[in-house]
Amino acid sequence: MAACRDRKRIQRLMTFFRLVLAAMLMSALPAHGADRTIYLTFDDGPLNGTSNILDVLAAEQVPATLFMVGMHAEASVSNKALVRRAKAMPLVTIGNHSYSHAYNHYRHFYSDTEGVVADMLMANAVLGLKPAVHARLPGRDVFRLPSMSKDDNSLGPAQAGREDPDYEFVAASGFYLYGWDHEWVHKDNGEPVQSVDHLVSEIDHLFGYGRFAKPGKLILLMHDEMFQDSFDGKTQLTNLITALKLRRYAFGTIQSYD
């Protein structure tokens, strides 16, 4: 009888300590609120991995922006179907990431102001987008929004001086331009570099000490090719979103960023 009472007492104490530990852990997590918002963005689709992204976004019911490349969108019947599927999802915004992605020759691309705009307008036509269009320029961390302007700090002064007119001209042609605050980096083959735990730790650190283009709002850059089946992409993205939810971050639509 005494042994039974002792076991129950121990069980009550263990339950009490578990509750205390849970409360301590929760108090250490980032506070939920509009000032701790993450904007999930994916570049370069539709590609292998886009379907997995859409599956996860539908299952987790979080908003995201897919900045798509016009040339990729019209490359195949399946890619066209992915664009239609994404456009039909209420929480997904399709953005313009150019038609050609500069063919990965950025200096040449940005030396022709009218060519940049023509390329972006061609992507609008392929993707079925009408102004004002949410857009991200290929290879450039540039913001041009009604409330802010920010250039790519990685460019040298000579190159930046040559490209500045492009940004203004593109913005004036019906585009809201978005850069990013942090990147989930990938290798040349698309494989993610940081683990989910490492990435979440980086995000926590940035919210604690970093400076964003807008206070309390982190635009996270990812690429569709990272979420292929060969990299267990669906699980990786699900784990990221789950971890951020547990840490009580909010998820924002790109429309709410400005």
Give the number of other CB atoms < 10 A from CB of residue 71: 17
Q: Where are the domains of the chain?
A: 1-30, 32-256
Q: Is 173 helix (H, G, I), strand (E, B) or coil?
A: coil
Q: How confident is the model at residue 20 (pLDDT cuts 50, 70, 90)?
A: very low
Tokens at residue 130, please? 């009408």
pLDDT in tens, 187-200: 999 999 999 999 99
Answer whether residue 34 shows pLDDT above 80: no
% of the chain residues with pLDDT over 90: 79
- The DSSP code sequence of 179-196 is --SEE--B-TTS-BSS-H
Rounded to an integer, what distance in angstroms lies between the CA atom of residue 237 and that of residue 220? Answer: 13
Tokens at residue 126, please? 């392929």
Please tell me the predicted confidence (pLDDT) of residue 7: 60
Greatest alpha-carbon pair distance for the chain in Å reads 88
182-183 vs 217-223, strand pairing mode: parallel
Q: How confident is the model at residue 22 (pLDDT cuts 50, 70, 90)?
A: very low
Topology of domain 32-256, CATH:
TIM Barrel (3.20.20)
Q: How confident is the model at residue 12 (pLDDT cuts 50, 70, 90)?
A: low
Please tell me the predicted confidence (pLDDT) of residue 19: 40
Tokens at residue 54, please? 């859409």
User: Residue 149 is which amino acid?
Assistant: S
Question: Treating both helix axes as pointing N-terminal to C-terminal, what angle do 233-246 and 50-60 enclose, rounded to 10 degrees?
Answer: 30
Strand partners, 41: 65, 221
Q: Is 163 helix (H, G, I), strand (E, B) or coil?
A: helix
User: Residue 139 is which amino acid?
Assistant: G
Please tell me the predicted confidence (pLDDT) of residue 63: 98
Tokens at residue 212, please? 């964003």
